[in-house]
Amino acid sequence: MRDFFDTFGLMLSSKKILKKIFIWRYKNISQRRFVYILSILVGFTSGLAALILKNFTHYIQSLLEGKLVQHYHKVFYFLFPIIGFTLVYLVIKYIIRGTVSHGIPSTLFAISKRKGIMKQYQMFGSLLTAPITIGFGGSVGLEGPTVATSAAISSNISRMFHVNQTTRNLLIGCAAAGALSAIFKAPIAAIIFAIEVFSLDLTIASMLPLLLASLSAIIMSYFFFGNDILLPFRIEDKFTVSDVPFYIVLGLVASLTSVYFTEIYERIQKIFDNIGSPFKRIVFGGIAIGILVYFIPPLYGEGFDVINNLVAGNPEKALENNFFNLETENVWIVIGLLIGLVFFKIIASSLTFGAGGVGGIFAPTLFMGSIMGNCLAKIINNSGFFSFSISESNFTLVGMAGLMAGVLHAPLTAIFLIAEITGGYELFIPLMITSAISFGVIKYFHPHSVYAMELGRKGELITHDKDHAVLTLMDMDRVIENNFVEIYPEMTLGEIVHEAVVKSNRNIFPVVDKETKELLGILLLDDIRPIMFDTTLYNSVKASDVMQDPPEIVELEEDKMTDIMKKFQDSGAWNLPVVNNNQYHGFISKSKLLTVYRRKLIEVTS
C-alpha cells in the first residue's frame, strides 16, 4: 500500500513539474521558436532510431550468417525466414499487442485520417520487429521502419507538449527528414523526401524546422557512425552529351520496371489479404521466401552489399554464390543473373510483407534500380552495335534514381539523393532525364505511389493540392447538423405545421420511416407555404403528398469531403441529407461546410 501511495505521489509530482515547464514555456518562448526546438529534438531522436535499427539488424545478420551459414550449411537460408516471421508474429501478439503496419503508409494514414496522432506502441513496434524481419532474411529495407519509428516518437512528443494538428504534421515530416538524413547522410534529399512524400508545404515556416531536424539527425549519425556511408559512391566517369539517348532509354526501362514493381507488389498483397489465418500466411510466405533466398542468396536482407559491388565494377562478387554454380566470367551469364535479381526482388519483398514481416520498400527499390541500370549498360556495351562504351557505374547510380522516381513518385528526392551520396552534381543532367521520364510514364498507369495507393483510392491522401488537402483533413462530424425536426410520411398537414414547422427554425424537414428511420425524402417549407394556412386541407394532405426526393444524398461511410463538395456544386443545393446504411443521420449545409473549410484552411496555412 505504501508503494502505491509513493508511486501516486511521484506521478502527481511529475505532473506538477510538467505543468510548471508548460507555464514557463508559454511565458518565455514563442510558438515559432518552440517548434524549432522540437524539430531539433525530433532530429536527434530520428538519428537515434536509425542507430538502434541498423545495429540491431546487423547484429542479427552477422550472428546468423557468420556462425550458421558459413560454418554449417546454406539450408539455413531456407529456414531463417520462417523462423523470423514466426518471431515477429509472437512479438506483435504478446509484447506489442497492436498492429505494426508498413512504415511510411502507416505514417501517411496517421496524417490523413488521425490528425497526426500515432499510438505509443508504434514508437517501439518497428524497433522490435523490423530487425528480426530483415535479420532473418526478409527481403525488405530499414528506411520505412526508421521513418515510422521516428514519426511515432515525434507524434507523441507533439501530444505531450499540446501542439496543434498542423505543427504535429510538420514535426512528423521533420522526423521523416531526420530518418533519411541519418541513414544516407544526405540532408538535402531528406528534406525533399519529406516534402514530396508527405506533401508538406515548402514555406519559410516549414523549411527551417525541416532543415534543423535534418541537420541534427546527420550530426547524430556522424557522431555514432563516423564517416561510414551506406552507399559509398564516387563518380569516376564524366557525363557526355552522346550518352543522352541511352539515358532516355534507361528512363523508359525504369518506367516499365516501376510498373512491374507496382503491379506485382499490389497483386501479391491482395493474395495474402485473402488468407485469413496468420499461421497460413507465415507458412506460405515463409516457405516461398525461403526457397527464393536459398536459390538466390543476394535476395537475403536489404542487399546494399550487392549495390556496392555493382558500382565498384565487381558484379561477379555479388553473384558468386549462385545455386547453379554458373561461371560469372561470361558477361551474358552475368546479365542473365542480374535480370533474375530484378525480376525476383519485388516478389521476395512482397512475400516478406505478406507473411507478416515489417520493413520498407525503399531499399528494394534502390536494389532493383541499381541492377536494372547496370544490366542495361552491360547489354549496350556487349551488344556489338556501338563502337564506344558507356559507364556501367553511372548507369547503376542513375538506374536507382529512375526506379525511385517511378515507384516512390519522388523524382526530386531521387535526383538529390544520388547527387548527394556521390559527392557531386556531375550526373545531374542524366538524373533529371531518367527520373522525369520514369515519373511521367508511371503516373499514366498508376496515379499514386506504392506508399499511397490504398489511401489514394479512398480519396484520403493528403496532396500538394491545397483545396484537396484541406478537405481531406476536415472532420465529417464537425459539419453534420442534427437540429432538424423529423416528419413521417403519414403525418397530416396539420401535424406538420403544429409539430414541425412551429418547433423548428429550419425550412427543410427530413421525411423518414417511423420504425426503420430510413430516409424517404425531404419536405421544404416552400412546398407547403401556399397551403399551410388553409385549415381545410389539414387532414387531407399528408407529408407523402408534398415531399420530394433530395437533389443529392451524402453517404456517411462512403463519401469524402471532396465528394460532398462536388455534390453541392453539381446540385446547387444549400442543404443535403446524410444517411448511414440508408438511415437518416442529419444534414450538411453549404454554409456550415464553407465555414469549417475556412477555419481549417487558416489552421493549415498558419
- 244-299 residue pLDDT tens: 999 999 999 999 999 999 999 888 888 888 887 888 888 888 888 888 888 887 88
Query: What does the pLDDT read at residue 218?
Result: 93
Q: 463: which residues sit within 8 A by CB, 6+ positions away?
A: 199, 469, 472
Euclidean distance between CA atoms 602 and 414, whole angstroms = 32
Q: Residues 507-542: pLDDT tens digits?
A: 889 999 888 888 888 888 888 888 888 888 888 888
Q: Give 175's pLDDT tier (boundaries 50, 70, 90).
A: very high
Handedness of CA 164, 169, 170, 171 (dihedral sign): positive
Q: Strand 508-512 to strand 554-555: parallel, antiparallel, or no bridges (unpaired)?
A: unpaired
CATH topology of domain 26-225: Clc chloride channel (1.10.3080)
What integer is the mean pLDDT of 472-481?
76
Q: Residues 70-82: pLDDT tens digits?
A: 544 566 667 788 8
CATH code of 241-464, in short, is 1.10.3080.10
Specify the pTM.
Answer: 0.78
Query: What does the pLDDT read at residue 76?
Result: 65
3-state helix, strand, coil split of the chain in percent (to 5) is 65, 5, 30
Q: Which of 64-68, 229-233, 282-286 has the highest mean pLDDT?
A: 282-286
Task: Give strand ranges (E) for 536-581.
Answer: 554-555, 575-580
- pLDDT for 385 beyond 50: yes
Q: Longest Cα pair distance anywhere in the chain, in angstroms? A: 102
What integer is the mean pLDDT of 332-349?
87
What integer is the mean pLDDT of 333-354?
87
Query: What does the pLDDT read at residue 5?
Result: 43
**Does domain 469-605 fall into CATH 3.90.550.10?**
no
Asked whether this chain's domains 241-464 and 469-605 adopt the same fold, the reply is: no
Query: What does the pLDDT read at residue 214?
Result: 94
Q: Residues 148-161: pLDDT tens digits?
A: 899 999 988 888 88
Query: What does the pLDDT read at residue 42?
Result: 93
CB 22 within 8 A of CB 96: no
Query: What does the pLDDT read at residue 400?
Result: 92
CB 187 within 8 A of CB 181: yes
Burial of 236 (0-12, 13-18, 19+ CB in 10 A): exposed
Euclidean distance between CA atoms 248 and 234, whole angstroms = 23
The backbone region for 547, taken as left when phi is positive above 0, alpha when psi lies in -120 to 50, beta otherwise, is beta
Q: What is the mean pLDDT of the chain?
A: 82
Q: Give 353's pLDDT tier (boundaries 50, 70, 90).
A: confident
Domain ranges across the chain: 26-225, 241-464, 469-605
Euclidean distance between CA atoms 54 and 61, whole angstroms = 11
Euclidean distance between CA atoms 343 and 569, whole angstroms = 47
Residue located via cell numbers 554458373: 326
Query: What does the pLDDT read at residue 605?
Result: 61
Rg (C-alpha) for the chain, rounded Å, is 29
Handedness of CA 561, 566, 569, 573 (dihedral sign): negative
Please give the DSSP secondary-structure letter assigned to residue 299.
G
Q: How many residues does the chain have?
A: 606
If one compares 495 and 600, the residue with the highest pLDDT of the two is 495
Residue located via cell numbers 557468420: 66
- pLDDT for 10 beyond 60: no
Three cell numbers written together for 321: 554464390
Q: How many CB atoms lie within 10 A of CB 242?
A: 10
CB 169 within 8 A of CB 197: no
Q: Residues 105-149: pLDDT tens digits?
A: 778 777 777 777 888 888 888 888 989 988 888 888 888 889 989
- pLDDT for 585 beyond 50: yes
What integer is the mean pLDDT of 462-480?
66
Burial of 272 (0-12, 13-18, 19+ CB in 10 A): middle
Lowest mean pLDDT among 202-216, 461-475, 494-508: 461-475
Q: Give 481's pLDDT tier (boundaries 50, 70, 90).
A: confident
Query: What does the pLDDT read at residue 603?
Result: 65
Alpha helices in 480-589 (DSSP H): 493-496, 525-528, 543-546, 561-571
Helix (H, G, I), strand (E, B) or coil at 510: strand
- pLDDT for 8 beyond 50: no
Three cell numbers written together for 483: 437540429
What integer is the mean pLDDT of 433-454?
86
